[in-house]
Structure 1
Amino acid sequence: MTVSSAPVADAAPRNWVDRRAPAAWQPYLRLARADRPIGAWLLFWPCAWSSALAAIASGASWPNPWHLMLFAIGSVAMRGAGCAYNDLVDRDIDARVARTRSRPLPSGQITPKQAAIFLAALLGVGLAVLLCLPPFAILVGLGSIVPVALYPFMKRITWWPQAMLGVCFGWGALMGWAAAFGRLDLAPLALHGAAFLWIIGYDTIYAHQDKEDDLMVGVGSTALLFGARTGPALTALYAGAVGLLLLAVFLAGGGLLAYAGVIAFGLHCLKQVRRLDVDDPALCLKLFKSNRDAGALVVVGLVADALFRL
């Protein structure tokens, strides 16, 4: 039986899905995490970084608007597909974790078959978006299939599932450049490395919400691996991300405003580390969500640099 009115414990109270979405749609929107859009933002920002960096390198005054629109739609669709796939694989584990047992699959709001059909529909949207890009960008996008498929299983075999998430969520750092130039160069590779380290950092913060449950069910995370050393580990990860962002800007021929955006990003990340209390789940979630603003700072700097060419 479908229980469409049941809210999810780890979503914001009275979010738009619970308040406004038709009851029959609610379980599917929850499965796609439409009730918490932070993941779509975090998937989109590396794409926007890459498009903006390509604009600087090509001398354009603005990132390609068509590419940005496609990346925005694709980020929403593929983030939803990733969540649906992850929940299908993890539904037995989620049923044993306090924060996730109210999600649509473990709580019985929808069946695995319904979730699989919904996943196929989201993948269809993602494929349609991908096919609107130039041929080389399509090939680059197809390269993400393997890491995305492997990601849900990483927590079962390694302490570093966040590293595989970094590969997947950072893939967009390659896409904007590939779509603009029909090739990959050192600048987007450095950008992907920066996104990779940033994502490991912020997802480690997120994972501290579940560390006791993860330990109980026997899955790994960098939150468990780093433990009390999380602060120094995050400092190293974020410092590496800043260094690689600066390198990417240099390789693309960026100017002062682009560098300023990266420095603002670094200061934001430093603030996260200084405020972090790994034993305060509510604070961990708040700091994790603040990375929406961190990613935006890089975009603002890159776009401003392309516009003003200082």
Structure 2
Amino acid sequence: MHYYMYHLSDFNNATRYLSRLERSIYRDLLDMYYEQESAIDGTDMPILERRLLIRSTEEQQALAFVLKEFFENQDGFYFNNRCESEIKKYQDKLETAIKAGKASGDARRKKARKRQRVEPDSANGIEEFNGRLTDVEQTLNENTQNVEPTINHQPETINQEPVINTQDWRDERFEEFYELYPNKKSKGQAKVTWNHVFIGNKTHSKPENPEELFEQIMVSVKAQTPTILSSEPSFRKHPSTWLNAQAWLDEVSQPPVNHQSSKPQRSTPDPLAVNAKYNVPTEMTDEEKRQWFAGEVASDIPSSFMESKSS
């Protein structure tokens, strides 16, 4: 196998309790397993240790622990169920691709034979025509046999759509998101969380339409920016926190507005209490009361009231 699918979350969950040395040796064993498409040969342990660059006693102990923990020993050969399953899938797809290539070659050869049955105007034309067809048939056959189908082979066409949700695609979209997000903190952690959103993990499910999810996230960031900025700087969500909380699904709330009047307003007191405190004449008109309560008079008591009081 030229490559294999590395499931980041599966590996991390399965090896969380290992030391860094043990995790490194386990990765080397997986690489060896997939490259040779067969179980690890442990019948001659010094040879295996040499192939894995195992030198110290500590490394030998780590190798022995990893083999015992993740592999099944059958007469000195160490088998891994996950590796066997992935290799079987790869070989099945490869066999299907080879059969499809042979069927395509057979179809082209049949078509060439039909063209050979066409009779040209002269005998020389027949020989020349058949000779050309024989060369074409041979070329087609050689191309069919020499081209090795791969598991990830995808024919390219003029109208082929760009591949989405690849690492390059996610990296480009993350930069757009981070540029837009109003609180630029912990960019590295934010990028890790961004990948989890689009490839899936225990918290996030892999989206069926990554482009639609990206557009939804960008629209939500724009809509929530005023609310994020209205909170205290120390309480503003980091981009990683915002993504982990799937905040693009939140309802948009408007930040509180501080309504300040250019003119101070008096609270409206009880008229009877005002009359008792300031000895306001009971015959003051409703308009005079309204002016006083609304603050349209500079002094506390309208001048007409004060004149009446002094007299």
Q: TM-score range by the shorter chain?
A: under 0.3
Q: Which has the higher helix share?
A: 1
Task: Choose between structure 1 and 2 for higher RCO, CA contacts under 8 A separated by at least 6 residues.
Answer: 1
TM-score norm. by structure 2 comes to 0.20
TM-score norm. by structure 1 comes to 0.20
- Higher gyration radius (CA): 2
